[in-house]
């Protein structure tokens, strides 16, 4: 019986290989992660993250899980919302990214209510009904089995807890879609080579966006994982979408 395959950008690879390949990409870009995000979004990722945290509505005393938390952008905002009585757990499969996040958060004076965990989003090392809120920002498209990650997000949430997925998505306006493709596949890899000496990683990241489930499909996957009230809001014509759901 042949092994199941999955996407790695536009390539098809055995499922067991994808996590290591993704880890290699982020090992390569970890020290330049802010630059990567700025290049991919023209700096707009900062605004999108702030809007996601605002809509997520973390409250003082909440326990929050930041999946694929990487360099800590969402954790920094969430830690201030939950306050000293709350806690944010930042989780990433990539040690290099967690180290970048830890250093940045310590520099920002955030230490008392932040915890770090290196683990796979498909098998979370937490008990069921543990968190009030789970967020994942620009990370779900890199997960091998997105259905398992969504099911795990649901499992670790308390009943009535909320999950939010912030991710690059499908552009709906034809002209904007053409311009976005031109930028992603012609300009972005060249900029990555020029500024980070890493054309291949930036090409993968552009391809991974196109392989990610479009908005309605991802909302359906969240419903299958056990979430109710699944909705999404597009940003910049669908370049990015924020999905939300509630654990029933």
What pLDDT score does 2 carry?
A: 59
- CATH code of 5-172+204-247, in short, is 3.40.50.150
Residue boundaries of the structural domains of the chain:
5-172+204-247
What pLDDT score does 187 carry?
A: 86
- What radius of gyration do the chain's Cα atoms show? 17
Cα torsion angle, 151, 154, 156, 162, sign: positive
> The pTM is what?
0.94
Per-residue model confidence as pLDDT tens digits over 2-24: 579 999 999 999 998 999 998 88
What pLDDT score does 232 carry?
A: 98
Q: Is residue 2 classed exposed, middle or buried when 0-12, 13-18 and 19+ CB atoms within 10 A define those classes?
A: exposed
Scanning the chain, the segments in alpha helix (DSSP H) are: 15-29, 33-41, 45-56, 73-82, 95-107, 146-156, 174-182, 188-196, 199-211, 215-224
The whole-angstrom separation of Cα 151 and Cα 178 is: 34
**Range from 18-22, 112-116, 142-146, 241-245 carrying the lowest mean pLDDT:** 18-22
């Amino acid at each position: 019986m042949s092994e199941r395959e999955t996407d790695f950008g536009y390539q098809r690879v055995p499922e067991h290989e994808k996590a290591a390949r993704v880890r290699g990409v982020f090992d390569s870009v970890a020290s330049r992660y802010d630059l990567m995000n700025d290049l991919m979004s023209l700096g707009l990722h900062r605004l999108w993250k702030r809007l996601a945290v605002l809509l997520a509505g973390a409250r003082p005393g909440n326990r929050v899980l930041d999946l694929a938390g990487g360099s800590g952008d969402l954790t920094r905002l969430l830690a201030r919302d939950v306050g000293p009585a709350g806690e944010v757990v930042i989780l990433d499969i990539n040690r290099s990214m967690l180290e970048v996040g830890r250093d940045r958060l310590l520099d920002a004076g955030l230490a008392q209510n932040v915890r770090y965990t290196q683990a796979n989003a498909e098998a979370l090392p937490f008990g069921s009904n543990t968190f009030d809120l789970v967020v994942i920002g620009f990370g779900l498209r890199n997960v091998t089995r997105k259905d398992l990650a969504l099911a795990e997000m649901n499992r670790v949430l308390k009943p009535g807890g909320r999950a939010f997925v912030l991710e690059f998505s499908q552009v709906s306006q034809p002209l904007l879609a053409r311009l976005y493709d031109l930028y992603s596949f012609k300009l972005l890899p060249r900029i990555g080579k020029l500024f980070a000496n890493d054309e291949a990683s930036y090409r993968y990241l552009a391809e991974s966006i196109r392989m990610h489930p479009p908005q309605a499909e991802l909302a359906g996957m969240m419903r299958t994982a056990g979430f109710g009230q699944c909705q999404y809001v597009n940003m910049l014509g669908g370049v990015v979408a924020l999905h939300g759901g509630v654990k029933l």
